[in-house]
Amino acid sequence: MKDITISGKRIKTELRWLIISLAIAFVFNIYSIIKYKTSLAELFTSL
């Protein structure tokens, strides 16, 4: 069976997209907390 290798460049690209996606979700979560006037505890319970 042939081993699959993932290059360092590909790992960095995937990690970058993961961080960007989480940051966007975090920003939208903060926006919704402000818009709907809920408590900041919602920010931590949604993780």
pLDDT, one tens digit per residue, over 1-43 is 789 999 999 999 999 999 999 999 999 999 999 999 988 888 8
CA distance 32 to 23: 14
Q: Cα separation of 16 and 10, whole Å?
A: 10
pTM across the whole model = 0.75
pLDDT greater than 70 at residue 47? no
Compute the distance between CA of residue 3 and CA of residue 15 in angstroms, rounded to an integer. 22
Domain regions of the chain by residue span: 8-46
Tell me the H-state helices in the chain.
Answer: 8-36, 41-45
Residue with tokens 């975090």: 26
